[in-house]
Structure formats: structure tokens, C-alpha cells
Structure 1
């Protein structure tokens, strides 16, 4: 695996399309495994999306301040992206309480951000509103200052796969992590189907999870559903452990894979598939953060933080 720097979307455009409010803050370029069945990437002819202009880069305003009374995560103050922690984050009854609180706040903030997604509303306006909600709750916006990242919420528009500007938050030393794709303005049927299927892929991946299950089953279940609907699963972004540490093992692959490892009761990690109408490869903007599809095709992402139990998985970031 090759670890890359993540990237923020600098667009506050007016285009009609979909906006993904998310958190994902690191990019792992996973080598594709030989012999994997590749998904067809053609949408049904009757559902081809309308032609649209590519993203336009806007101006990034300065980072917003955080009151001194709110503790900072250890990565704030350095521009280096932290290593993915090797530790598997396990939880007892006390730490689960803190994780639930952080994730519940993350879910509420995400839903609030979604109400702001409208034509003519800039991504900077959404960032300001979300930032205020987080600090008013006495929490720290986890992405702010992560590897020098300048914002508090991610708004990945249209062909932006990820890292448009992140969404996650730290509360009492614990991080909650979630994302969702919202429709903005007049959206064609093909784009709506992409969004619906992406969310279904997330829920199908979660449905496989319980103590003792192999991590690779997540990728298999997601890939099967995406391929059935003619979409490709982006391979260069992954889920990850989350808790007191923002990004840690285990790494969660969303495509078919043969990676070892089994889930253990008490683990918390994210599942966050990205589906594309066309290419599953990405280009990075020179801002060092923004990742877009190489062919300009639309992408969508959904994400939850889950807690592994003996009999299944609890979705901690569900409203």
C-alpha cells in the first residue's frame, strides 16, 4: 500500500448535482489484486446523466478558530499526515459510552449539514455553519488541522470522489466518523440511482459484520451489489479503525480482496464505499487533497462508524 496525502475541494459552485458531505481524510492507494472481476461501468442507456461542466476551483478562506477551552487532538499544529496507527481499537463499557456520544454528535451534524445543501449555497457557507455547531457542542472538528487540512467539513461535489473538505468530530478524546451523499437541485435518474445503490452497498457491507467474520466479506458484498447495478467500486479509498485515534487498523477494503483478519467484539471501524458511474481511478488536484474521477464521471459515498458485537454490528453514527 502507498500512503498519499489527502485533499480539500476548493469549489463552492452553483452546479446542479450531488454533494457528498464526508470526513475521509487519508488516501490509501491499494494495489489491485490480479484476477479480480471488474465491474461494468456503463449505466443503462435510458439513464445516462446529462452533460455538465467540470468542477471549478474556488478560493479557500482561512481556517476558522476553535476556543482555547476545547482540547486539541495531538496532530494539530503539524502539517505531516499521521501514520495509520497499528493498534486495533477495542472498547470496554466506559469507552463505548464516549464513542456513542461522539458518533451521535457526528450524525446530527451531518444531517444538519445536509439541510444546507441547495443550489447557490457555497461549500464555505456549509463549513462555517458546521464548524459553529461542533464547537457550540464543546467538541473539536477532527479534520481541522489534520495534516494541515484547513476546514471542518467535507463537501465533495459531482466527480469529486473524496476529500472535498472533511466531516467528523472529536468529543472527549473520541472521534465519530460519517458521510452521506445529498442530492442538490434537479438531479437525473441515473445520478439518483448511483446515490441509492451506494447507500445500499454500505448497508449490505454492514449486514455482514459480527464477531468472528472475515473483513474480506465486506468487500465481496459491496462489489456484488455495485456490479449488479453497473457501477464500479473505487479501490483507492478505504475504511479504517476509529476511536481515540482518528485513523488506525484495521483497514477496510470495499472491493473484492483476500486480505486476512477477522472482526472482534468491541472493535469500532468505518465502512465507507465510493461508487462511480465510470472510471474508478482518481486524479489528485495540485492542492494536495482533492481526488476526482479521471474521466469526470459522477461518484457517491456513504459512511458509518460501527461497533462490532457478538451477534452483529451497531451503527454508531445512525440518526
Structure 2
């Protein structure tokens, strides 16, 4: 599963250098499909639930599940790129929200806090803890900064299927829910909004937007419990290398 996750990690790293003003999402999608196949893997999203694309590309007020379109990215956009791959029968699935050109400081802060939420959740993935401990850690950090936490969409178990039990909410109560056990693998993916947590689905049957039109951010890692502690199977290191980022969460 680490190998499958790293296929996605490398793909996001390859795309990182391409995500700039003027980049066309449909072209990014084609590049991702070709790159995944070159690694001996299969795109994990393409055809799943009739998904028409390799990537889900969500801009600004789109929380998740945005379909790649021909409209170029613009300076000041933020864009969540969610990607999946299948290698040796196992899925990798993770996401990163990129800045496009010069982004407003308040938007940069949303991205920073959302990524911090991801790692706050990961810290709680230990044997003996419960799902509510992980969910609460994400919710508290987001709401302490005045942000909304999407309720209707959740992370998930991961393995030979893209979506397995258990569901992984980004809100909850400490001490509640499924107790974590050795060997569990889940995709943790905070979806955090600058305004209301309320969302709506567009007529294409995929795109999920914030109701108030304010920006949303989305980061995702695949994480296993190994020796009682979280082991992050995916990595953002390829993205950081491509973008020259040295200060990370």
C-alpha cells in the first residue's frame, strides 16, 4: 500500500511544477493519467463510480470532486488536486491544495491551518484511541481558527477498494467511535472552509461547492497503524521539492 500511495505522491509532485496561472486542468488530467501508467499503475479514479477523469481538480469555493475543465487556472486561485492509483491490487489516494500564483494572505492561512488539521488527526491514529479522538482533533483546530468543518464528506478506510470501512469524519467527540487496532489503513482528509460548513452539489453530479461561495481547502494522506503508531504511507516531499518548500508542517 505504501508503493501505491507513493505512485500518487510522485504524480502530485510532477504536477506541482505545472500548476501555475494559465495551466489547463484537462491537460493536467491527461499528464497524470500518462504518468501513473508509466509507473506500472492504473488510475484509481478513472471509471470509478463512472468518474470521467484521473484527477479531481477543485478550485476556490469547490471543496472536492471538481471535474477537470478547459478553463485555465488564474492568478490567486487555490486548487485541490485529488488523485488515486492502483498498484498490485491496492489503492493509493491522497490530495494537496496548491496556490496558483499570488494568493491572498487570508487564503494562505486557510491552507496552513487545514494542513495542520491533517497532522493533528494523524497524531491520534494510535492503538487504543478511538475515531472520535481523531475527528475531534481536526475539528477543534479548524474551529479554533474560525473555520468551518464539512460534515457530509469524510475520509475512509483504504485497501483493495478505494472506499472501505471505517468512515473517518472530520468532526466528533473524544472517546467515541471505533477503537483503532494494529494494521488499520485509512485516508484522512480534512475539508475545511473559510465560511460556513454547509455545501451543495452542482448539476454535474460531482462538484461540491461551499454554499456561501467562500474558499475551501483539502489535504489528504494515507496512514497505517504500525507498531501502535501512525505510519504515513503517502508523502508531500515530492511536492515540496518541486516547489522549493523547506518549511513544512
TM-score (norm 2): 0.86
* Structure 2 gap ranges (5+): 68-81, 238-249
Which protein has the larger Cα radius of gyration, Structure 1 or Structure 2?
A: 1
Q: Distance in 2 between the 1:195 and 1:261 partners?
A: 29
Structure 1 residue 202: deviation in Å? 0.2
8 Å contact 1:272–1:302 — kept in the other structure? yes
Question: Which of 50, 54, 74 lines up with 1:152 in the alignment?
Answer: 54
Q: Match of 1:131?
A: 33
Of 115, 118, 125, 1:202 maps to: 118
SS in 2 for 1:179: strand
Distance across 2 between alignment mates of 1:115 and 1:217? 36
- Give runs of aligned pairs for residues 11-22 of structure 1, distance below 5 A: none
* Residue aligning to 2:180: 263
2:223 is the alignment partner of 1:306: yes
Partner in structure 2 of residue 214 of structure 1: 130
Using the alignment, how far apart are the partners of 1:116 and 1:164 within structure 2? 18
* Structure 1 vs Structure 2 CA RMSD: 1.2
Instruction: Please point out which of 250, 258, 267 is paired with 2:166.
Output: 250
After TM superposition, give the deviation of residue 224 of structure 1 in Å.
1.3
Number of residue pairs matched by the alignment: 221
2: CA distance, partners of 1:256 / 1:215: 8
Q: Which residue of 1 aligns with 2:72?
A: none
Aligned match of 1:184 in 100, 104, 120?
Answer: 100
Q: Secondary structure at the match of 2:137?
A: helix
**CA drift at 1:288:** 0.4
Is the 8 Å Cα contact of residues 211 and 309 (structure 1) preserved in structure 2? Answer: no
Residue pair 1:103, 1:305 contacting (<8 A) in 2 also: yes
Whether 1:284 aligns to 2:201 is yes
Match of 1:121 in 2: 23
Which whole-Å CA distance do the structure 1 matches of 2:58 and 2:16 have between them? 12
Displacement, 1:187?
0.6
Which structure has more helix as a fraction of its residues? Answer: 2
Structure 1 length as normaliser, TM-score?
A: 0.67
Per residue, is there more strand in 1 or in 2?
Answer: 2
Structure with the bigger RCO (C-alpha within 8 Å, sep 6+) is 1
Distance 1:284 1:148 in 2: 16
1:140 aligns with 2:57: no
- The alignment partner of 2:224 has SS state of strand
- After the TM superposition, which residues 49-60 of structure 1 pair with which residues of structure 2 at under 5 Å, given as runs? none
Q: 1:311, CA displacement in angstroms?
A: 3.1
Structure 1 counterpart of 2:3, from 71, 76, 101: 101
Offset, 1:281: 1.1
